[in-house]
Amino acid sequence: MKIKIIENIKTIFYALIIALIIRSLLFQPFYIPSSSMEPNLLIGDRIFVSKYSYGYSRHSFPFSPGLFNKRIFSKSPNRGDIVVFKTPADNRTDYIKRLIALPNETFQIIDGDLFLNDEKIERKEINIGRDINCGNENLDFVAYEETLPNGKSYIAVYRKNGTLLNTDKFIVPNDHYFFMGDNRDCSKDSRFLLSVGYVNVNNLVGKAQVIFFSNDIKKGMFIKFWKWKNSLRLERFFKKIK
């Protein structure tokens, strides 16, 4: 009996080590808790984030241990990537946003249009055929397909009334990035310098790759299996994130 207990402990220990390696070096699951990335990511989506896409920093590991101060095996993210990062305010909270501007670039909103390095970002109004929320509020919105200079396209939504029409010019520092939520008027992001601002390269956690599970919590929590017929978003299972 004693030998069996020891073997079971060893099995659990090895399983935990393997899980830790996978989580730290390969893929980490995340839950989407807010509507800041609608319509592309919804509350209740569970996603896999690749940890190797941009190399590794101390934030690649649980509890962000001070193992090293810079990234190792560093790779530059691409404009338009959806990225998980630690907020500069506390170096602890995970945010997920879309990368808009790279180091040493400029970004500005003028009369509602987006300008990257003084060039207007191309966009066309589209009908997405779904509601957009901000918390419990159902937004009156307009949706655009925006295309960045590298050809990356995505859907972004704006309030019809009350959207941010003008900003100062943001100048992204070296080794930093500028992020925005796709639900533009329901997102705390790099436009808010005191709470988020520019994100240091060392704060990048990984790239959002795929939705592996999705549950509409308004129609039933996951543990309420008798409501799965209405709450599970089967069409989002294993959906590639763009």
Summarize pLDDT for 178-222 with one digit per residue, the tens.
999 999 999 999 999 988 999 999 999 999 999 999 999 888 777
Say how many CA atoms lie within 13 Å of 42 toward its Cβ.
21
pTM (2 d.p.): 0.90
The Cα-based distances of 232 to 46, 131, 227, 240 in angstroms read: 12, 17, 8, 17
Sign of CA dihedral 153, 157, 160, 165: negative
Which of the residue ranges 108-122, 127-141, 173-187, 217-231 would you say has the lowest mean pLDDT? 217-231
Is residue 164 pLDDT above 80, yes or no?
yes
Is residue 231 pLDDT above 90, yes or no?
no
Do the beta carbons of residue 133 and residue 34 sit within 8 Å? Answer: no
pLDDT computed for residue 26 by the predictor: 82
d(CA 160, CA 147): 20
- Catalytically active residues are 36, 97
Model confidence band, residue 162 (pLDDT cutoffs 50, 70, 90) = confident
- Read off the pLDDT of each residue in 52-72 and give the average, rounded to a whole number: 86
d(CA 34, CA 163): 19
pLDDT computed for residue 93 by the predictor: 94
pLDDT computed for residue 4 by the predictor: 67
Nearest to 122 by CA among 97, 100, 153: 153
Which of the residue ranges 7-11, 46-50, 106-110, 201-205 would you say has the lowest mean pLDDT? 7-11
Is residue 7 pLDDT above 70, yes or no?
no
pLDDT computed for residue 85 by the predictor: 97
Is residue 229 pLDDT above 90, yes or no?
no
Do the beta carbons of residue 111 and residue 122 sit within 8 Å? Answer: no
- Read off the pLDDT of each residue in 40-65 and give the average, rounded to a whole number: 92
Do the beta carbons of residue 217 and residue 84 sit within 8 Å? Answer: no
d(CA 80, CA 194): 23
Model confidence band, residue 228 (pLDDT cutoffs 50, 70, 90) = confident
Q: Which domains does the chain show, CATH number per domain?
A: 2-240 (2.10.109.10)
pLDDT computed for residue 1 by the predictor: 57
- Read off the pLDDT of each residue in 68-93 and give the average, rounded to a whole number: 92
Is residue 105 pLDDT above 80, yes or no?
yes
